[in-house]
């Protein structure tokens, strides 16, 4: 029995919940995957998976074995990389997930520079504002801009994402300039509705913290849409600076309530605690930390 191949097949079946999908990702037939898992169960003398015609999931034994198998395979990958990375450039496929707006505005140039630095790697980028599971969805590096709630995932901080309260000059001329967070209760707001704080805005100034429940006319899970609607004069928005930056420079938007600030969001790379980082994953995360940290320093200088 090829133990390593059987471990890889078993892990992929658990991650995808499907023999067919595991075969597709490993470029093997469904029958080959089934044979590898069957050989593994026969060798162990226990059943690891509950099977239906369309789905496979680990039983109690299978879940324990899966967690240990992840560690074993990642250690093997790390061992391989440790003895080869000094002799050759990192290579192989790196699957990345990132938020839609951050991907389209900020990530492209960074990926281009990373590809220039590591030309033998293949990058597969999937942009989505959904909260993905790195194990179930098969991503090596999910990036997330969030106020992270507690979870079993490990989060590596890449860079803070400051936010700005803003509105178009036309809107402010029509509705007036708010001078205090409480004034926002009389304004139309455009909100991002998928934060832990819900639609509430937390603003901090010299007189302390203020929690505002704005009267919103639009709630959406994409900040670029909020920015576009704010530029058209439809309300006040709380936007990441990387979204609002160009409109602020062109005076299509105007920063307001400058004596108050919202807590910045943070860009994280997330991964399961049972998955040791491969060299290529670590290199990519370190690259992003250095890249966006340098940009943040440049903005502050």
Shared domain for 180 and 107, answered yes or no, is no
Q: Which of 84, 109, 144 is the last residue of a domain?
A: 84
Alpha-carbon Rg for the chain in angstroms:
24
What pLDDT, on a 0 to 100 scale, did the predictor assign at position 214?
80
Shared domain for 155 and 270, answered yes or no, is yes
What pLDDT, on a 0 to 100 scale, did the predictor assign at position 135?
60
What pLDDT, on a 0 to 100 scale, did the predictor assign at position 274?
53
What pLDDT, on a 0 to 100 scale, did the predictor assign at position 275?
53
In whole angstroms, give the CA distance from residue 5 to residue 234. Answer: 57
Domain count across the chain = 3
Helix H segments across the chain? 3-16, 19-26, 30-44, 60-84, 100-102, 108-117, 169-175, 223-231, 241-249, 279-300
What pLDDT, on a 0 to 100 scale, did the predictor assign at position 84?
57
The neighbour count for residue 82, using CB atoms within 10 Å, is 10
* Positions in the chain whose pLDDT score sits under 70: 78, 80-89, 132-137, 147-153, 193-199, 272-277, 295-301
Residue 259 is part of which domain span?
163-263
What pLDDT, on a 0 to 100 scale, did the predictor assign at position 235?
94
In whole angstroms, give the CA distance from residue 170 to residue 191. Answer: 19
Shared domain for 239 and 250, answered yes or no, is yes
Q: Which of 84, 111, 142 is the last residue of a domain?
A: 84
Model confidence over 32-43: pLDDT tens digits?
999 999 998 999
Kindly report the CATH number assigned to the domain that includes residue 220. Answer: 3.40.190.290
């Amino acid at each position: 029995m090829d133990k390593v191949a059987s471990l890889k097949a078993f892990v992929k079946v658990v991650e995808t919940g499907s023999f067919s999908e595991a075969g597709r990702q490993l470029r093997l037939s469904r029958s080959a995957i089934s044979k590898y898992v069957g050989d593994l169960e026969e060798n162990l003398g226990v059943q690891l998976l509950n099977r239906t015609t369309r789905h496979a999931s680990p039983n109690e034994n299978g879940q324990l074995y899966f967690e240990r198998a992840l560690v074993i395979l990642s250690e093997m990958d790390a061992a391989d990389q440790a003895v080869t990375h000094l002799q050759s450039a990192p290579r192989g496929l790196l699957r990345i997930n990132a938020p839609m707006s951050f991907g389209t505005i900020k990530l492209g140039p960074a990926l281009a520079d990373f590809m220039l630095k590591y030309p033998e790697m293949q990058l597969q980028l999937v942009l989505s504002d959904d909260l993905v599971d790195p194990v179930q969805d098969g991503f090596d590096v999910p990036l997330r801009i969030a106020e992270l709630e507690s979870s079993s995932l490990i989060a590596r901080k890449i860079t803070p994402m400051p936010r700005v309260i803003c509105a178009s000059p036309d809107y402010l001329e029509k509705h007036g300039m708010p001078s205090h967070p409480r004034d926002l209760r009389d304004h139309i707001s455009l909100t991002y509705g998928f934060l832990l704080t819900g639609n509430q805005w937390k603003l901090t100034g010299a007189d302390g913290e203020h929690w505002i429940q704005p009267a919103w006319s639009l709630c959406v899970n994409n900040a670029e849409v909020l920015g576009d609607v704010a530029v058209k004069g439809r309300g006040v928005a709380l936007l990441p600076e990387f979204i609002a930056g160009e409109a602020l420079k062109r005076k299509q938007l105007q920063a307001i309530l400058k004596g108050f600030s919202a807590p910045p969001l943070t860009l994280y790379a997330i991964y399961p605690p049972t998955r040791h980082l491969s060299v290529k994953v670590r290199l990519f995360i370190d690259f992003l930390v250095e890249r966006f940290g340098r940009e943040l320093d440049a903005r502050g200088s």
